[in-house]
Amino acid sequence: MEDKKKRMAIIASKGTLDMAYPPVILASTAAAMDVEVGIFFTL
Cβ atoms 27, 10 nearer than 8 A: yes
0.85 exceeded by pTM: no
Which pLDDT score is estimated for 7?
A: 96
What are the pLDDT digits (tens) for 1-43? 577 889 999 999 887 888 889 999 999 999 999 999 999 988 7
- pLDDT at res. 42: 86
